[in-house]
């Protein structure tokens, strides 16, 4: 038997392939970046820090990740690229050493009524296959368990060409789907209050319809007058049963009015298609008010909200049907799946177990698969997206995270840190945009951008180790070890807001008195029931202004001036000073440059290549007609005003010829939330997540309400900005408002007058009040997870 001998050879020079250990970025100028040059180590965890709006996302997402995705897309055929989003090359001189980027951002999952946690993560697809193989009685293929597939059948003649002859044959088909026929797979049915749709004492011509946009002077008037189904001069209460059915429920019918082919459809199916198919949060305010007034949503009585028909619910595995499985808490469902032992579907069971275990591992075991994806918070949505990457065998890829600790209790942050380190240790490059000191502390490499936000940011302030950051003297370095002290004295409540018998989601018959006239922090681990208590259980008519986490939607034509309503008083002031119409001072209306239609740039679509945007030569990017720019207010034209920062504009509209109190009040609120550096005309699409959250808060500060409910207002805020937020909350309370904050940030907890802590765990392990009292009492008792972490934070 021979053995191979090994001869020790002297070490040779490193292999050329091992020399590419850096991602190099030279001269990045995307958004507000000012020729930023950085070198990021591969297979390490790099954290990007800096105040909100300093350029972190522009560097990480807008430059590095965007170029990686663009280059990957270019590897596909032009045919495939035609179906993919076209991406422009970022504004950067050199990008070298890129690897495939996997982006896990905070974009909320789609709020489509048919989208659930199960459909968004493919867990439902695996369950459907499992029940189609093991369910008894056997009812059909996986489609038979899908609430998005209706059961249909049909028969008819088909014409075929066979051997040079035309042959007719009879064919029939049937598809067995799982959709509940009553609610069409949405789990809820709508009921209409007819008195909110029309005034029965009036005729159509007298304006009986009270639905937004349904006037007799426009398109709908033409259809209703010309349909011939009823007399438009007859009061609706005098309609026969058939006429009322035609007005409300008639199926789409082709009609001809004045020689024009039109389609008539009853009011209720029309409203269902035009209004109810949209997410409520994306509706215009007057449409949302109409829907809230006219439509009630109730659980479907046929499927009891499960979305599935009787056939799908009849097939069971060990007494459990697919609706029961999807309604289980995921941690319980994982245990049930682990108990199944069937060799014929072993690979399927292994993958399903891995997916469900990933939910539990990432701290989302309290969700259920039938939870609507639109109800997830930004942090939950981000962690749901992470699930498909946790068990991945890929290495040497770049994972890009946008504040992965958002929405996490301090107790859960350690678990998230472990996951980030695990991805790194598999040989991946991990890039994280983050404000949380606990996550910054685990970084191998830190890149700090700033020093300020907007035009005052976009430069590299520091690059190196965490210890070096502490000693660097940058804003992040100075604030890294900041700790808000406990309040020595707390305010006295002026009253209470009583919640009785709250049972929304996982709440267990909760009774609580929320003190008014003070700053109240509602705390607890993710999934403990905080939002269910505050947003889902406050009694109607409690004079509440709610600022939740739904994102601001806006096109490139939207900007802070249009979103906050600031442009209205500005346009009126310009119109009054110049004796012309206000519409002239809108780039989306009569004042728009005719060449670019008020966009400021000309877009050229190049199909599979990235479109090109060139500044409009006619208006030089100012968006307005030349004649409009001849009109001035206080020596400035409208384009110069929109180019001002909030701070400049506040001074401009505060005194002198341009004094406009209505505009000055809105600008004061924007400055209060720390957005003094934003320019009034900056497109909303270029704002960071933290900036959008504060813009929303500034807008709601004008709402007339006695109780403000804020859902994690520290999301996207730098440590230095948290102080400013606390000062703003104090000003709100001192002005006589009551402020209730759902929050995980210990600085807000320490600064609160009263804390309501829910728990002790998440899902069915939570839903109870585990502490009520002052922050000092919570720290002294240390009886809950929140108390332990707050005590450690304040050094008690």
Helix (H, G, I), strand (E, B) or coil at 723: helix
- pLDDT, one tens digit per residue, over 556-592 is 889 999 999 999 999 999 999 999 999 999 998 899 9
Structure-token pair, residue 332: 């319980």
What is the rounded distance in angstroms from the CA atom of residue 205 to the CA atom of residue 316? 56
- Least confident residue range of 239-248, 538-547, 577-586, 767-776: 538-547
Q: Is the pLDDT assigned to residue 782 strictly greater than 50? A: yes
Q: Is the pLDDT assigned to residue 113 strictly greater than 50? A: yes
Helix (H, G, I), strand (E, B) or coil at 379: helix
Q: Quick count: other Cβ atoms within 10 Å of Cβ 27?
A: 14
Confidence of residue 8 (pLDDT cuts 50, 70, 90): low
- Least confident residue range of 92-101, 446-455, 649-658, 698-707: 698-707
- pLDDT, one tens digit per residue, over 585-638 is 999 889 999 999 998 988 887 766 667 788 899 999 999 999 999 999 999 999
Confidence of residue 454 (pLDDT cuts 50, 70, 90): confident
pLDDT the model gives residue 352: 96
Q: Is the pLDDT assigned to residue 457 strictly greater than 90? A: yes
pLDDT the model gives residue 83: 84
Helix (H, G, I), strand (E, B) or coil at 738: strand
- Give the long-range contacts of residues 283-292, CB within 8 A, separation 24 or more: 286/212, 287/212, 290/196, 290/211, 290/212
Q: Is the pLDDT assigned to residue 25 strictly greater than 90? A: yes
Distance, CA of 770 to chain centre: 30
Q: Are 705 and 544 in contact (CB under 8 A)?
A: yes
pLDDT the model gives residue 6: 52
- Least confident residue range of 274-283, 666-675, 704-713, 760-769: 274-283
What is the rounded distance in angstroms from the CA atom of residue 504 to the CA atom of residue 780? 31
- pLDDT, one tens digit per residue, over 397-435 is 999 999 998 888 898 898 889 989 999 999 999 999 999
DSSP letter assigned to residue 144 = G
DSSP letter assigned to residue 600 = S
- pLDDT, one tens digit per residue, over 441-453 is 999 999 999 999 8
Helix (H, G, I), strand (E, B) or coil at 649: helix
Q: What residues contact residue 507 under an 8 Å CB cut-off, 6+ apart?
A: 529, 532, 533, 536, 537, 767
Q: Classify 721 in phi/psi space as left (phi over 0), alpha (psi -120 to 50) or beta.
A: alpha
pLDDT the model gives residue 1: 45
Average pLDDT over residues 276-287: 70
Average pLDDT over the chain reads 89
Rounded alpha-carbon distances, angstroms, from residue 509 to 271, 578, 759, 761, 796: 36, 62, 14, 16, 34
pLDDT the model gives residue 373: 85
pLDDT the model gives residue 526: 86
Average pLDDT over residues 336-350: 95
- pLDDT, one tens digit per residue, over 231-266 is 888 999 999 999 899 888 888 888 888 778 888 888
What is the rounded distance in angstroms from the CA atom of residue 658 to the CA atom of residue 55? 33
Confidence of residue 652 (pLDDT cuts 50, 70, 90): very high
- pLDDT, one tens digit per residue, over 376-390 is 877 788 888 888 787
Average pLDDT over residues 176-195: 90
Q: Is the pLDDT assigned to residue 336 strictly greater than 60? A: yes
Q: Is the pLDDT assigned to residue 115 strictly greater than 50? A: yes
Confidence of residue 110 (pLDDT cuts 50, 70, 90): low
Confidence of residue 689 (pLDDT cuts 50, 70, 90): confident
Q: Is the pLDDT assigned to residue 2 strictly greater than 80? A: no
Range ranked top by mean pLDDT from 91-105, 187-201, 292-306 = 91-105
> Which strand (E) or helix (H) includes residue 532?
helix 530-537
Q: Is the pLDDT assigned to residue 511 strictly greater than 70? A: yes
H-state helical runs in 376-479: 378-390, 410-425, 437-440, 466-470, 475-479
Q: Is the pLDDT assigned to residue 467 strictly greater than 60? A: yes
């Amino acid at each position: 038997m021979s053995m191979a001998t090994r001869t020790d050879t002297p070490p040779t020079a490193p292999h050329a392939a091992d020399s590419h250990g850096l991602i190099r970025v030279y001269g990045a100028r995307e958004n507000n970046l000012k020729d930023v040059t950085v070198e990021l180590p591969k297979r390490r965890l790099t954290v990007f820090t800096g105040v909100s709006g300093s350029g972190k996302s522009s560097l990480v997402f807008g430059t590095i990740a965007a170029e990686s995705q663009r280059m990957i897309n270019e590897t596909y055929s032009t045919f495939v690229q035609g179906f993919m989003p076209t991406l422009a090359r970022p504004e950067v001189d050199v990008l070298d050493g890129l690897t495939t980027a996997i982006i896990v951002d905070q974009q909320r999952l789609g709020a489509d009524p048919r989208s659930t946690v199960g459909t968004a993560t493919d867990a439902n697809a695996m369950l459907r296959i499992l029940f189609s193989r093991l369910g008894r009685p056997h009812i059909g293929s996986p489609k038979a368990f899908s609430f998005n597939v209706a059961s249909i059948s049909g028969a008819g003649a088909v014409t075929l060409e066979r051997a040079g002859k035309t042959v007719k044959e009879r064919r029939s088909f049937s598809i067995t789907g799982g959709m509940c026929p009553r609610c069409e797979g949405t789990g809820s049915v709508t009921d209409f209050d007819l008195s909110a749709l029309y005034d029965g004492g009036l005729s159509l011509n007298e304006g009986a319809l009270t639905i937004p946009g349904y006037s007799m002077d426009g398109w709908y008037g033409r259809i209703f007058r010309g349909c011939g189904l009823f007399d438009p001069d007859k009061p609706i209460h005098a309609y026969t049963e058939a006429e009322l059915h035609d007005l409300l429920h008639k199926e789409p019918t082709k009609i001809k009015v004045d020689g024009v082919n039109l389609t008539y459809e009853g009011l209720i199916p029309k409203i269902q298609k035009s209004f109810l198919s949209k997410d409520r949060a994306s509706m215009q305010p007057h449409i949302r008010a109409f829907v809230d007034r006219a439509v009630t949503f109730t659980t479907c009585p046929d499927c009891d909200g499960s979305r599935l028909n009787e056939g799908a619910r009849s097939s069971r595995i060990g007494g459990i049907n697919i609706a029961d499985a999807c309604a289980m808490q995921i941690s319980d469902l994982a245990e049930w799946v682990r108990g199944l032992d069937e060799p014929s579907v072993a690979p399927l069971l292994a993958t399903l177990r891995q997916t469900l275990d990933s939910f539990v591992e990432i701290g989302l075991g309290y969700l259920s698969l039938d939870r609507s994806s639109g109800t997830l918070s930004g942090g939950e949505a981000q962690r749901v997206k992470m699930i498909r990457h946790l068990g991945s065998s890929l290495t040497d890829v770049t994972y890009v995270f946008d504040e992965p600790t958002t929405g996490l209790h301090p107790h859960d942050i350690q678990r998230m840190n472990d996951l980030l380190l695990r991805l790194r240790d598999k040989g991946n490059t991990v890039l994280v945009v983050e404000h949380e000191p606990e996550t910054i502390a685990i970084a191998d490499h830190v890149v700090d951008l700033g020093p300020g936000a907007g035009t005052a940011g976009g430069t590299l302030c520091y690059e190196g180790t965490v210890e070096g950051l502490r000693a660097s003297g940058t804003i992040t370095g100075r604030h890294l070890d900041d700790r808000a002290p406990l309040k020595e004295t707390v305010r006295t409540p002026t009253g209470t807001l009583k919640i009785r018998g709250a049972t929304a989601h996982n709440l267990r018959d909760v009774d609580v008195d929320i003190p008014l006239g003070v700053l109240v922090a509602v705390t607890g681990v993710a999934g403990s029931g905080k939002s269910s208590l505050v947003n889902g259980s406050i009694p109607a008519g409690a004079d509440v202004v709610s600022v939740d986490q739904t994102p601001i939607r806006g096109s490139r034509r939207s900007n802070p001036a249009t979103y906050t309503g600031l442009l209205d008083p500005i346009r009126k002031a310009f119109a009054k000073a110049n004796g012309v119409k206000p519409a002239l001072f809108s780039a989306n209306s009569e004042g728009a440059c005719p060449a670019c239609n008020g966009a400021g740039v000309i877009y050229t679509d190049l199909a599979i290549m990235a479109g090109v945007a060139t500044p409009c030569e006619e208006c030089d990017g100012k968006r307005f007609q030349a004649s409009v720019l001849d009109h001035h207010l206080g020596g400035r034209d409208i384009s110069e005003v929109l180019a001002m920062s909030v701070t400049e504009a506040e001074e401009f509209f505060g005194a002198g010829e341009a004094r406009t109190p209505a505009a000055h009040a809105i600008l004061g609120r924007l400055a209060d939330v720390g957005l003094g550096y934003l320019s009034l005309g900056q497109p909303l699409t270029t704002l960071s997540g933290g900036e959008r959250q504060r813009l929303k808060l500034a807008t709601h500060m004008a709402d007339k309400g006695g109780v403000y409910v804020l859902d994690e207002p520290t999301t996207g805020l730098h440590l230095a900005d948290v102080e400013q937020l606390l000062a703003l909350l104090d000003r709100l309370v001192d002005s006589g408002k009551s402020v209730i904050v759902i929050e995980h940030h210990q600085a807000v907890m320490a600064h609160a007058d009263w804390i309501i802590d829910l728990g002790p765990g998440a899902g069915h392990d939570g839903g109870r009040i585990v502490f009520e009292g002052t922050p000092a009492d919570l720290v002294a008792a240390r009886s809950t997870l929140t108390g332990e972490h707050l005590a450690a934070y304040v050094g008690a």
